[in-house]
Structures are given as structure tokens and as C-alpha cells.
Amino acid sequence: MQITDKPLPNQLDKLIINANIATFSQDCGYQPNDDSHNEYGAVTQAAIGIADGKIVWIGNSEIAEQCSQANVEMTDIQGRWVTAGLIDCHTHLVYAGNRSNEFEARLNGASYTDIAQAGGGILSTVKSTRDADEDELYRQSEKRLKALMSEGVTSIEIKSGYGLNLATEEKMLRVAKKLGEDYGITVKKTYLAAYIAKVCEWLPILHKKGLVDAVDGFIEAIAFNLEQITKVFDTATALGIPVKLHSEQLTDMGGSELVAKYKGLSSDHLEQLGEAAIKQMAKSHTVAVLLPGAFYTLRDETVPPIELLRKHQVAMAVSTDCNPGTSPVTSLLLMMNMACTLFDLTPEEALAGVTRNS
């Protein structure tokens, strides 16, 4: 971010004065592993000039206050903070149905198996998502997107995965794409692998239609193993699609080391993450995505290894994991708070986790 002492440009529409700007820019002294760095890459007593909806000037507030241009809307925000638009980098936002009753069932001692046998669990969401037509799926998902946008989210990742057949997976990804187009928000569409054999057949079809920006998987004793996920990653890599992974949530099965091998975008959850995998993530610049909503809902007791991630300088992101079962959350600000209170992130790390690192 370039801060200037040059005069204001002509034909501004708006001026924001007396702002504190969290730039997270090294040009402004941001060095996350240096205790003496300029926190947030902060620029204080700053002003922002806007023309045609775009930031065209950032400088000293004293210069801005001398503006004599006619028809410029000047807003004094009295020392409040200005940040980049927030990014929710891990969501399952497009789905139909409601599983809130499962929360009470878990509190009353029901296991995942008990819930599934009673007609709940992920297969309940699969059925509801399959049954909903595209318009209804859009309407239900739109409400969740609007809630996130109301808190400043301007970019979001949305996964498929509740279809388990090609038609429904494609429907989910089309809805995700349309939400982005209709609301002017950046939507990254992720194909979440389900049936391994079919994934390798379906992925080229969906990619050709412009519906896949990344490929995700879930490695766990109750899901897929390293060999299966490797096949998915090989298929994605051959198509030039980046990969990411749900890993080390319940057990350490080597998922983070695998995604690092493929120079993946991120490894997500990570409660059981070990130091060897963290070292590999650091080398591959794979981001550690923390999901405190799922941790809280499942009443987990094992916290992701934050100190080791800091030690090895692995970038940490924070996300809602918005989904109907384990994290029915549409507040990224709440997740920032939980990342601090449950995982001991600093407020600076939490904000970086929904901007710079996402």
C-alpha cells in the first residue's frame, strides 16, 4: 500500500478523514514474526480519497481536510479502523435444509451414528440439497451470504459436496457462481470430493464448465485415506486446479504433509497437526485454516498447535466453516473473537487471518 504526501487528485467523490488503516503491508512496517514491528501495518491519522467507487489516494488527514473541491462528501470517522474487505476462505454455504435439532441431540448424548440412524447427519443435508430445485437452493443460500456480507465479507469460498451425484454437485456450484455474479462479491468455487472413483470422472466435466476454482477433500478415518486423496489431487493437478484439504481434525493421518507435497492452498481444521507436517507446510507456503466454529460446536478439547505454527512462520487464516451440521455460523467477526478466546490468537493475527492470509 502506497501512502503519499502528494496533493489530492481532482474530481474526488468521497473523502474519509481521521482514519486508522490496517494495511498489513511490509511497506508500512508489518512483520508478523518481529515483536517490535508496526502492529497491523497501521497508518494513523490517515485519509482515503475515493473516485468512481475506487480508492485513488491515501495520505495524511491534514492534507485531506484542506480539500476545497466542490461536491466532495467528507466523512470524519474519528479514529476508527479501516481494513481490507474480509475474506471467508472455507465455507459450505450452499445447501438446503436445517439440522439445528442435532445440536440438542448431541447435548443429550447422541452420537453421530445415533443421529444418522435417526435420519439426520450429512445424508439429511444431501437429501434436502438434492430435493431442492436450483431457485430454492439459491434462496436458502442467499440468506447466509447476505448475513456474512453485512459484516464486511467481500470474498468467499464456497464448496460443493452435498450432492454425491454429478447433477447436484453441478447445481451447487452454479448457485455459488450466480451468488457471486448477483451480489458483486468474489466467490471462489471449490469442488469437494466425495466418491473418489467418480470425482476423477466428474472433475474435468465441471472444470470445463468454469465451475471449479479449487479441489478439496476430507482425509480422516471416517472419510478418505492418503491413497484415495492422492488420486484426486493427481487429477486436479493434471487439470491445473489448485488443491486444499480438510485434515487432522480428529486424527493425524498425514493429510497436511500430503497437501504440502502438492503445494496446496491450505490445510484446514488441524487440531491434531504435528510439527513435521507444519515444517512441510512452511516450505510449501500452505496456509493453516483455523475453524473455531466447528471446534466449539463439537466441544473439542484439543486446540490447533498455534505456537508451532508461529514458530515455523506458517500463515494462519480464520474462517466460519459455515455448514448445517458442525458450524452453522454466518458471523466471521464471531469467528475472529473465538480464534482469540479459544485458540489464543492475538487480535492482529485474527484480523490478518480474515484478510492478508485468507
Q: What percent of the chain has pLDDT over 70?
A: 98
Last residue of a domain, one of 32, 53, 82: 82
Examine residue 50 and state whether it is found in any structural domain, yes or no: yes
Across 28-42, 80-94, 227-241, least confident range: 28-42
User: How far is CA 352 from each of CA 22, 166, 259, 335, rounded to the nearest angstrom?
Assistant: 9, 36, 22, 13
Terminal C-alpha separation, the chain: 18
Last residue of a domain, one of 61, 82, 103: 82
Q: What percent of the chain has pLDDT over 90?
A: 74
Give the count of alpha carbons within 13 A of 93, CB side only.
35
- Residue 309: is its pLDDT beyond 90? yes
Q: Please classify residue 107 by burial: count the beta carbons closer than 10 Å to its beta carbon, then call 0-12 exposed, 13-18 middle and 19+ buried.
A: exposed
Q: Do 123 and 49 share a structural domain?
A: no
Examine residue 144 and state whether it is found in any structural domain, yes or no: yes
Examine residue 220 and state whether it is found in any structural domain, yes or no: yes
Give the count of alpha carbons within 13 A of 220, CB side only.
18
Q: Do 269 and 348 share a structural domain?
A: yes
- Strand 54-60 to strand 42-51: parallel, antiparallel, or no bridges (unpaired)? antiparallel
Q: Do 133 and 32 share a structural domain?
A: no
**pTM of the full predicted structure?**
0.94
What is the mean predicted confidence (pLDDT) over 49-70? 85
Q: Do 255 and 121 share a structural domain?
A: yes
Examine residue 243 and state whether it is found in any structural domain, yes or no: yes
Tell me: the pLDDT tens digits for 129-180?
A: 999 999 999 999 999 999 999 999 999 999 999 999 999 999 999 999 999 9
The kind and range of the H/E element at 191 are strand 186-192
More confidently predicted of 290 and 65: 290
Last residue of a domain, one of 53, 82, 111: 82
- Residue 5: is its pLDDT beyond 80? no
Examine residue 263 and state whether it is found in any structural domain, yes or no: yes
The kind and range of the H/E element at 20 are strand 14-22
- Residue 68: is its pLDDT beyond 90? no
User: Cβ neighbours of residue 64 under 8 Å, at least 6 residues apart?
Assistant: 8, 15, 17, 47, 49, 74
Q: Do 205 and 105 share a structural domain?
A: yes
Domain of 63, CATH number, reads 2.30.40.10
Predicted local distance difference test score (pLDDT) of residue 1: 53
**Mapping DSSP to helix (H, G, I), strand (E, B) and coil, where does residue 312 land?**
coil
CA distance 189 to 213: 5
Domain of residue 152 covers: 86-353
Q: Do 129 and 70 share a structural domain?
A: no
Q: How many domains does the chain have?
A: 2
Domain of 311, CATH number, reads 3.20.20.140
